[in-house]
Amino acid sequence: MNNHANRGVVYQGNGTVKVEAIPFPELAIGQRRCDHGVILKVVTTNICGSDQHMVRGRTTAPNGLVLGHEITGEVIECGRDVEFIQVGDLVSVPFNIACGRCRHCKEGKTGICLNVNPARPGAAYGYVDMGGWVGGQADYVMVPYADFNLLKFPNADQAREKIQDLTLLSDIFPTGFHGCITAGVGPGSTVYIAGAGPVGLAAAASAKLLGAACIIVGDMVEDRLNQARSFGCETIDLKQEGDMQDKIEAILGEREVDAFVDCVGFEAHACGCNHHQESPAVVLNSAMQITRAGGQIGIPGLYVTEDPGAADVAAQQGSLSMRFGLGWAKSHSLQTGQCPVMKYHRQLMQAILFDKIEIAKAVNVQMISLDQAPQGYADFDGGAAKKFVIDPHKMVS
Ligand SMILES: NC(=O)c1ccc[n+]([C@@H]2O[C@H](COP(=O)([O-])OP(=O)(O)OC[C@H]3O[C@@H](n4cnc5c(N)ncnc54)[C@H](O)[C@@H]3O)[C@@H](O)[C@H]2O)c1
Ligand SMILES: [Zn+2]
Ligand SMILES: [Zn+2]
């Protein structure tokens, strides 16, 4: 079925991406057959902060990598061993690739599948160290283990109408929700969310869905903080100097929160007037400072094992300077790692379809064409309060 041309967003090194011709996907990866896979015509594919870590040269991502792990598509071809997914289905693709057969998949830990990446547990499309699977910021992409991985939308016409919300099920909505769940957020919780990027905003909207009493979002980008305020969050502008606990107290009347979600990761900037300076452990340290004793800390923000762009030698190996004794003394629980998207995507799809959340509005989805992807990357890197969603076949706009 190689009768289609294909184009994708390709990493060029040095902060640049380009849209280039790439091979039409096959039901294989290298020598490995994927008769359990499908080919998708990509309906929407989102640009993520995780992509930016690579594009900014802060990982060991090789030049020529086809990017894109947030994919929604229409099935156009099924491998021989696909039983339940059919041509014509409109589906959401979890960014984690999972076999459905290994010990971890059986435990629901699809972010650390043992069979999809020879180098380490866990895989993803279009990502460094994640198994070499081709990314989906493209016209077409192959998805392996399709029966296990894909979430089929119950009604394709209804799904097309809500596609700007449903496109967020491949990553950031489940990721923000998982951040809140692992931070113990529930009815009446007070929550601090570090970072007002798309993941932070998705976490804030999730905290609202979970019934949190007060949601405080911190960042240093004014537009992003305004976006958080637009759906009822309190905000802390980290450009203003001062102690984090004083700032929390000014809002809550207490110096600690019940739950903390790190939606920043290793490229964190120090708080206060020196905010241009990077300080990779600053969010983890403020988590231990402002979370109550016995509280939980969800860490969806990404931390790496190699950071060629880090300021000091230790951080180049992912070693950060944390005041871990403080967290220990307060009996904190910390949860790290990829979000196991499959654990949440069906329930969050239902929340969207039954109008229980306006997640696209919360993260301010902006649709763009495939040719506009390089500009989308640049604007996103500049701190635009937007979630860029590529519409390669102009099926949405
Ligand atoms: N665990 C997962 O499965 C998963 C999934 C998706 C994304 N991620 C990660 O989540 C993180 C956020 O993603 P995003 O798309 O929102 O990225 P983003 O870069 O748009 O957002 C990060 C935000 O953090 C802000 N920031 C920097 N230092 C800060 C500090 N000290 N305190 C508060 N805010 C600070 C930045 O100004 C920015 O607005 C990234 O590290 C990304 O890789 C993880
Ligand atoms: Zn992502
Ligand atoms: Zn597995």
- Crossing angle of helices 345-353 and 172-182, in 10° steps, is 110
Cα–Cα distance for residue pair 306/324, rounded to 1 Å = 21
- Mutating to test ligand 1, I would choose from 46, 50, 363 the residue with most ligand atoms within 8 A of its C-beta, which is 50
Per-residue pLDDT band for 371 (boundaries 50, 70, 90) equals very high
Q: What pLDDT shows up at residue 14? A: 87
Backbone dihedral angles phi then psi of residue 278, each to the nearest 5 degrees: -80, 145
Cα–Cα distance for residue pair 101/95, rounded to 1 Å = 18
Average of per-residue pLDDT across 146-153 = 98
* Nearest CA owner, ligand 1 atom 19: 49
What residues are paired with 75 via a beta bridge? 40
Q: What pLDDT shows up at residue 215? A: 99
> Percent helix, strand, coil in the chain (nearest 5)?
30, 25, 45
Topology alike, domains 7-171+340-390 and 174-335: no
Q: Which amino acid is at 330?
A: K
269: helix, strand or coil: strand
Residue 369 pLDDT > 70, yes or no? yes
Q: How far is CA 262 from CA 96, 136, 301, 313, in A?
A: 20, 26, 6, 24
Share of the chain above pLDDT 70, in %: 98
345 alpha carbon to ligand 3 midpoint, in Å?
A: 18
Average of per-residue pLDDT across 343-358 = 98
For the Cβ of 196 lying below 6 angstroms from any atom of ligand 1, the answer is: yes
* 107-110: long-range pairs with CB below 8 Å, 24+: 108/340, 108/342, 108/343, 109/340, 110/340, 110/341, 110/342, 110/343
- Give the contacts of 324 (CB within 8 A, at least 6 positions apart): 288
For the Cβ of 122 lying below 6 angstroms from any atom of ligand 1, the answer is: no
* Side-chain-side CA neighbours of residue 306 (13 Å): 8
Residue 230 pLDDT > 80, yes or no? yes
Per-residue pLDDT band for 149 (boundaries 50, 70, 90) equals very high
For the Cβ of 261 lying below 6 angstroms from any atom of ligand 1, the answer is: no
In this structure, what DSSP letter does residue 326 have? H
CATH class of the domain comprising 174-335: alpha beta
Closest CA to 384 of 30, 11, 36, 52: 52
Residue 20 pLDDT > 60, yes or no? yes
160 alpha carbon to ligand 1 midpoint, in Å?
A: 28
Mean pLDDT of the chain: 96
Cα–Cα distance for residue pair 395/54, rounded to 1 Å = 28
Residue 265 CA: nearest ligand 1 atom is 41
Looking at the domain 7-171+340-390, which fold is it? Quinone Oxidoreductase; Chain A, domain 1 (3.90.180)
Q: What pLDDT shows up at residue 269? A: 93
Residue 145 pLDDT > 80, yes or no? yes
* Nearest CA owner, ligand 1 atom 24: 195
| Domain definitions of the chain by residue range | 7-171+340-390, 174-335
For the Cβ of 197 lying below 6 angstroms from any atom of ligand 1, the answer is: yes
Per-residue pLDDT band for 274 (boundaries 50, 70, 90) equals low
Share of the chain above pLDDT 90, in %: 93
Q: How many helices (H) and strands (E) does the chain have?
A: 15, 17
Average of per-residue pLDDT across 175-182 = 98
Cite the DSSP H helix spans in 188-281: 198-209, 222-229, 244-252
Residue 255 pLDDT > 60, yes or no? yes
Q: What pLDDT shows up at residue 350? A: 98
Per-residue pLDDT band for 272 (boundaries 50, 70, 90) equals low
Range list of β-strands (E), the chain? 7-13, 16-21, 28-29, 32-33, 38-46, 70-78, 90-93, 140-143, 151-152, 190-194, 214-219, 234-237, 257-262, 291-298, 333-335, 365-368, 387-390
114 alpha carbon to ligand 3 midpoint, in Å?
A: 5
For the Cβ of 263 lying below 6 angstroms from any atom of ligand 1, the answer is: yes
For the Cβ of 282 lying below 6 angstroms from any atom of ligand 1, the answer is: yes
Per-residue pLDDT band for 4 (boundaries 50, 70, 90) equals confident
313: its two tokens:
């030698």
In this structure, what DSSP letter does residue 111 have? G
Q: How far does CA 237 lie from the centroid of its chain?
A: 23
pLDDT tens by residue, 34-90: 999 999 999 999 999 999 999 998 999 999 999 999 999 999 999 999 999 999 999
- Number of residues written out for the chain: 397
For the Cβ of 49 lying below 6 angstroms from any atom of ligand 1, the answer is: yes
pLDDT tens by residue, 298-339: 999 999 998 988 988 999 999 999 999 999 999 999 999 999
Per-residue pLDDT band for 91 (boundaries 50, 70, 90) equals very high
- Mutating to test ligand 1, I would choose from 109, 169, 199 the residue with most ligand atoms within 8 A of its C-beta, which is 199
Average of per-residue pLDDT across 356-362 = 98
Residue 288 pLDDT > 80, yes or no? yes
